[in-house]
Each structure stands twice: as C-alpha cells, then as structure tokens.
Amino acid sequence: MKAFVINKYSKKEGLQFANVAIPEVKEHDVLVEVHASGLNLLDSKIKSGEFKLILPYKLPLILGHDVAGVITKVGKNVTKYKVGDAVYARVADFRIGTLAEFIAVDEKDVALKPKNISIEEAASIPLVALTAWQALVETAKLQKGQKVFIQAGSGGVGTIAIQLAKHLGATVATTASEKSFEMLKNLGADVLIDYKTQDFENILKEYDLVLNSQDATTLEKSLRIVKPGGKVISISGPPTADFAKAIGAPWFVKIILSLLSSGIRKKAAKLGVNYSFLFMKADGAQLSQITSLIESGAIKPVLDKTFPFEQTNDALAYVESGRAKGKVVVRVK
C-alpha cells in the first residue's frame, strides 16, 4: 500500500511517499481502508522529534492520528464491528499511521461515523474532539453556569471545545483575530478577545477553567484569571510527572518532567489553582458519545481545507503555518 513515512526526525524534511506492507490485523483489530485522514500539529511535532522522549517511536514511521474510512477485515475476536461499517477513530499512540491506504485499529478505539457528516468532516473530528472531551468533561467536570476560557478559538481544538463547553452550559471566552469573530460567535463563544490588540488578562476575571494551548507566557497569565480552586488544563505543556506516571514512562522521564513543570506548578499552587497537563488518548466509547452530539447538531465539524493524498506535505505545511480555521484533512481514497 502507499503511505507517507518519516525515516528520521526532521523539522525541515518532508514526508516520504513509499510503498509499505498492509498492516497485520490482530485478534481485536479492524482493518480500515482509509478514505480521509485529519492532520494535527501533533503530527508535525512527532516528525520534528519534539515528543521522542515521551513517545519513543521506531523509525521508519507512518504519520497520522485521525482516520475515517470503511472496515475491510475484522480480527477473530472483534464483536462490535463488521466488514462494510463506516467508522472513524483517533488511533492509539504507537499504532499511528493514518496517512496510508489502510490501517489496523483496535476495535475499542473506533466509533461508527456520524451519519449526518461527510467522510472528510468525520476525519477532522477524533483527536480534537477527544481532547476537548477529556479536558472539559473527564478532567474538569465542567458544570452549567461555570466560566471557561478556551485559547485560540479558531484552531482545531478551539472550534470543537467552544461548542462542547456551550452544550455543557458554560460561559465561553476565547481569543482569536477579529476576522474569526463571526464564526466563533456562531459556534457559541460569549466573550471574544482580539489577541492582536487586547490582553485577555485585563478582561477576564474569576474564571473556573482555562484550556491552555499556547506558550509559557500565556500559561502564566492564565493562572491569574482563574479563581482559587479553579483549574488550568494545558495541552501544550509543560508535561508533569503525573502524566509520565500515567503513560508508564521510565523513572528518569518522570524526574525530567517534574523539573520541567516545577515552576508553573509552584506558581499555580501559590494562587490556589490546580494545574494539569493533558495528552489526549484514544477512546472509542467517548468518541461514540461525541457522535451522538454531532448527530443531534450540538457539535458541527469546522473544516478549513481538504488536500489530495499526494499533496500531504503541502497539507502539513498549511497546518504548521497556523493559518487554518478549524481542521485540515487529506483525502486518501
């Protein structure tokens, strides 16, 4: 099958187009013919080697975390799915490789594709929607009437997190450039801050939760707008020793991450704020709940651009440019 691979970690080098073997289907796996693959900044960070400490992949490596397609084969112990089912998934770490014609996925990481959206829209959803779900529902347990600040509202995670927070009954503030304001208002944002001309720290006070996806300076400022007892959940780091423990990392990684995050944890503790790092995980059951929200109209995919498979390098460059509003998808089939 055809796939896009990396043979070494590199910021500058593109992905290589290669012929590789179709993956082996284990007893709990489904083999998915990939129709579309969603791209994420995570793909770029893995390509550059930024995550090699916490995700030590073997090279060569096929990139890609998001898939939408059709099941062509099932493992002997698969009970939930059958050949011909249209499905989507964020595949598990160490099993990535959706920038290919086929991928084998554990059935527990898969959900049926929402019936009311296209295959490309479905491919745009899993990683960002699971990130939003695991931050707002699973970790923060966001309640009706609470106030949440979601940074970078027009990005992939932002567009879904705003809709989910609104569905949960929260007041939502976000940052973006002014040209995205109308789109974000339509998604449910209540407070819109132009990051080019305004400082959110002067506008937001006594928030219950921040979903941080930006740099260290923005993270520090975020601590100061949260009320005591509130939470700051960061998806851009720094990772903590708790995270290292959760992924079963070696002892020395726990020590490194503890040191990396000690400054921000101390500042958070001083303000009575709970800081945590979230690296989302594959979860088909949660994705099925997200499917229900999509089919009810509570969440709509926001798709910026679709690229043909052979233009995958251009698609990844567009993701890295930071200009995308919502998600970028590669059409494989």
Mean pLDDT, residues 47-65 taken together: 95
CA dist 130 and 128 (Å) reads: 6
Mean pLDDT, residues 181-198 taken together: 98
Per-residue confidence band for 127, with pLDDT thresholds at 50, 70 and 90: very high
3-state secondary structure 125-165: CHHHHHHHHHHHHHHCCCCCCCEEEECCCCCHHHHHHHHHH
Under DSSP, is residue 290 helix (H, G, I), strand (E, B) or coil?
A: helix
Per-residue confidence band for 31, with pLDDT thresholds at 50, 70 and 90: very high
Least confident of 22-31, 45-54, 142-151: 45-54
Mean pLDDT, residues 171-181 taken together: 97
pLDDT tens digit sequence for 240-264: 999 999 889 999 999 999 999 999 9
CA dist 206 and 227 (Å) reads: 4
Residue 331: what pLDDT?
A: 98
Mean pLDDT, residues 97-124 taken together: 98
Residue 141: what pLDDT?
A: 98
What residue spans define the domains of the chain? 2-125+301-331, 127-277
Per-residue confidence band for 107, with pLDDT thresholds at 50, 70 and 90: very high
Q: Are 244 and 54 in contact (CB under 8 A)?
A: yes
In CATH terms, the superfamily for domain 127-277 is NAD(P)-binding Rossmann-like Domain (3.40.50.720)
Residue 4: what pLDDT?
A: 98
**Spatial CB neighbours of 78, under 8 Å, sequence gap ≥ 6:** 27, 28, 29, 30, 107
Residue 30: what pLDDT?
A: 98
Residue 226: what pLDDT?
A: 98
Per-residue confidence band for 203, with pLDDT thresholds at 50, 70 and 90: very high
Mean pLDDT, residues 147-162 taken together: 98
Q: Are 68 and 35 in contact (CB under 8 A)?
A: yes
- Average model confidence (pLDDT) across the chain: 97
Residue 204: what pLDDT?
A: 98
The DSSP bridge partners found for residue 329 are: 38, 306
pTM of the model: 0.98
Mean pLDDT, residues 33-52 taken together: 96
Mean pLDDT, residues 64-88 taken together: 98
Mean pLDDT, residues 26-30 taken together: 98
CA dist 166 and 187 (Å) reads: 8
pLDDT tens digit sequence for 205-216: 999 999 999 999
CATH of domain 2-125+301-331: 3.90.180.10
Residue 95: what pLDDT?
A: 97
Mean pLDDT, residues 51-74 taken together: 96
Which two structure tokens, joined as six digits, stand for 24? Answer: 């082996």
Mean pLDDT, residues 276-288 taken together: 97
